[in-house]
Chains A and B, each alone.
Chain A
């Protein structure tokens, strides 16, 4: 495993209902990331299909593995890159059960996927109407370290990143499609999730406007002590490379020993009281 890895935060706007155009953008930016010496390139939530596609999601969802994943596997193989991107995933067992999924692919092929656990269905969001929630957090041992995945609204629930970290994730990747009015929440929460778990957290958001929703961009890498190490522009498409130095984990864990100080008995209480809410 490498001690240091280089990330590329590919903050794109995706073209709704045009998987071909979005795949071309993924390919172009993966090659750019490779040229800049990156090991891992990260794209936003549902960037393959677009975020506001409503009923069209049924036409756009694909299985994982499936045709798009095969194409991205080919791209990863050719470029030697690790790639994370978001797409609507069709269950292999049904014809209209869909997940909001993050996919992690290495040069050797599909490593794994994460299905979004917390689906916002309030305000402008209607994800539960279309998606089934996932039931598992995800942390994958890779050549680039242990990489955990979560998606957007999951970051409001500290138990998701906590569990992901406890499963071994050293770098948690949060892909997102967050509209501008929520920027301050995400700027706070991404730092908090990294700091409370002493982990790196890479947040990659959409840019652009879809059906009046303006995505605020602002993708970033946060250090295990909660510092923003790199940040993309607000609102516009941007592409930022940054470095994860895993030796920083030890420094953070000794100075902010949240994992050492965990109190497991509180988790039972959390379960008990959340059931009574």
Chain B
């Protein structure tokens, strides 16, 4: 296989159709009254918001905007609002600042300078809001993780990765951008640098240390069982970079699975208790 950007090309009309069908059937089978999702002003959440609206109608989708003072940027709220208006979503703004302050004050070992641990509180607090709305209004929580960040484990465990459905889970970031454009999401938003917004000026590409255009080609090579040497040669990059990506991908399997326990019984949850996933 030749590792060129063309391997990431897709028929985005077909992708849109397939994802919308998936969302529609899941919500219907679950007997839910729609979807709740977080709308950050970023590309992934804009894309799932658009897809949810196209699948079940914007009036059945509640988009929560969850700003907090440390990361606040009016541009993000404005971008989120553009998407909400275009796809006719219900919106609600919940300022997390007070709740987060309580966490910071209430945790005896809290260390403000440890921005990762602190940032993860933010991601998990957003999750709590989404699940509260889901629970209260009988709606499905729709997550926005994509394939690139899921493979890299670039997410907060039980935070932004927590959801009932994740419609763009099988699309790499560069594919999500193209799907977003296909869906009519404005270009300035579709091409905006991705950020988990755990602290100010954080961007995904800076943290991962690689551009998504390169990362996605490495990941697609790994997905198709190519060796790091083959991938590195084809992309004309250092083999060590590919190996670094591979190590990170493998090391983060714990984020993609149920918690593990020792095998003791006849059939074990998350192991050989193999049941169909139902939505009722």
A→B interface (CB under 8 Å) = 16-17, 50, 52-56, 126, 129, 180, 208-212, 214, 235
Give 18 pairs: A residue, B residue, CB < 8 Å, sorted on A: A16-B276, A16-B278, A50-B276, A53-B276, A54-B276, A55-B273, A55-B274, A55-B275, A56-B275, A129-B274, A180-B18, A208-B25, A211-B276, A212-B277, A214-B18, A214-B22, A235-B17, A235-B21
Q: Which residues of B contact A208 (CB under 8 A)?
A: 25
Kindly state the separation between the CA atoms of A52 and B277 in the bound complex, as whole angstroms: 9
Q: Is B267 an interface residue (CB 8 A)?
A: yes
Which 10 residue pairs of A and B lie closest in terms of their CB atoms, listed nearest first? A54-B274, A209-B25, A211-B277, A55-B274, A54-B276, A53-B276, A52-B276, A54-B275, A211-B276, A55-B275
Judging by beta carbons under 8 Å apart, are B276 and A56 in contact? yes
For A180, give the chain B residue with the smallest CB separation. Answer: B18
Q: Which residues of B contact A53 (CB under 8 A)?
A: 276
> Nearest Cβ in chain A — how far from B156, in angstroms?
23
For A55, give the chain B residue with the smallest CB separation. Answer: B274
Of the candidates A16, A126, A129, A209, which one forms a contact with B22 in the assembled complex, judged by CB atoms under 8 Å apart?
Answer: A209
- Among B18, B267, B276, find the residue whose CB has the most chain A CB atoms closer than 10 A: B276
B18-53 interface mask toward A, CB cutoff 8 Å, 1 = contact, 0 = none?
Answer: 100110011000000000000000000000000000
Judging by beta carbons under 8 Å apart, are A209 and B276 in contact? no
Kindly state the separation between the CA atoms of A243 and B50 in the bound complex, as whole angstroms: 44
Kindly state the separation between the CA atoms of A129 and B25 in the bound complex, as whole angstroms: 28
Q: Which residues of A contact B26 (CB under 8 A)?
A: 209
In the complex, besides A16-B276, A16-B278, A211-B276, 6 extra interface pairs with C-beta distance below 8 angstroms are A17-B278, A52-B276, A129-B274, A209-B22, A209-B25, A210-B276
Kindly state the separation between the CA atoms of A17 and B278 in the bound complex, as whole angstroms: 10
B245-280 interface mask toward A, CB cutoff 8 Å, 1 = contact, 0 = none?
Answer: 000000000000000000000010000011111100
Judging by beta carbons under 8 Å apart, are B267 and A55 in contact? yes
Q: Which residues of B contact A211 (CB under 8 A)?
A: 276-277
Q: Which residues of A contact B25 (CB under 8 A)?
A: 208-209
> Nearest Cβ in chain B — how far from A2, in angstroms?
39
- Among B17, B26, B274, B275, find the residue whose CB has the most chain A CB atoms closer than 10 A: B274
Q: Which residues of B contact A210 (CB under 8 A)?
A: 276
Kindly state the separation between the CA atoms of A129 and B18 in the bound complex, as whole angstroms: 28
> Nearest Cβ in chain B — how far from A88, in angstroms?
13
For B273, give the chain A residue with the smallest CB separation. Answer: A55
Kindly state the separation between the CA atoms of A55 and B277 in the bound complex, as whole angstroms: 11
Kindly state the separation between the CA atoms of A232 and B242 in the bound complex, as whole angstroms: 45
Judging by beta carbons under 8 Å apart, are A214 and B21 in contact? yes
Q: Which residues of A contact B276 (CB under 8 A)?
A: 16-17, 50, 52-54, 56, 210-211
Kindly state the separation between the CA atoms of A210 and B22 in the bound complex, as whole angstroms: 9
Q: Which residues of B contact A52 (CB under 8 A)?
A: 276
Kindly state the separation between the CA atoms of A214 and B267 in the bound complex, as whole angstroms: 28
Q: Which residues of A contact B267 (CB under 8 A)?
A: 55
For B170, give the chain A residue with the smallest CB separation. Answer: A212
Q: Which residues of B contact A54 (CB under 8 A)?
A: 274-276
For A212, give the chain B residue with the smallest CB separation. Answer: B22
Kindly state the separation between the CA atoms of A214 and B26 in the bound complex, as whole angstroms: 12
For A54, give the chain B residue with the smallest CB separation. Answer: B274
Q: Which residues of B contact A17 (CB under 8 A)?
A: 276, 278
Task: List B residues 202-232 near A (Cβ within 8 Å).
Answer: none
Q: Which residues of A contact B274 (CB under 8 A)?
A: 54-55, 126, 129
> Nearest Cβ in chain A — how far from B10, in angstroms?
11
Q: Which residues of B contact A50 (CB under 8 A)?
A: 276
Q: Which residues of B contact A209 (CB under 8 A)?
A: 21-22, 25-26
Q: Which residues of B contact A180 (CB under 8 A)?
A: 18
Kindly state the separation between the CA atoms of A53 and B277 in the bound complex, as whole angstroms: 8
Kindly state the separation between the CA atoms of A210 and B279 in the bound complex, as whole angstroms: 10
Kindly state the separation between the CA atoms of A55 and B17 in the bound complex, as whole angstroms: 31
Q: Which residues of A contact B273 (CB under 8 A)?
A: 55
> Nearest Cβ in chain A — how far from B13, in angstroms?
13
> Nearest Cβ in chain B — how far from A100, in angstroms?
16
For B25, give the chain A residue with the smallest CB separation. Answer: A209
> Nearest Cβ in chain A — how far from B42, in angstroms?
24
Kindly state the separation between the CA atoms of A235 and B22 in the bound complex, as whole angstroms: 11
Q: Which residues of A contact B18 (CB under 8 A)?
A: 180, 214
Q: Which residues of A contact B275 (CB under 8 A)?
A: 54-56
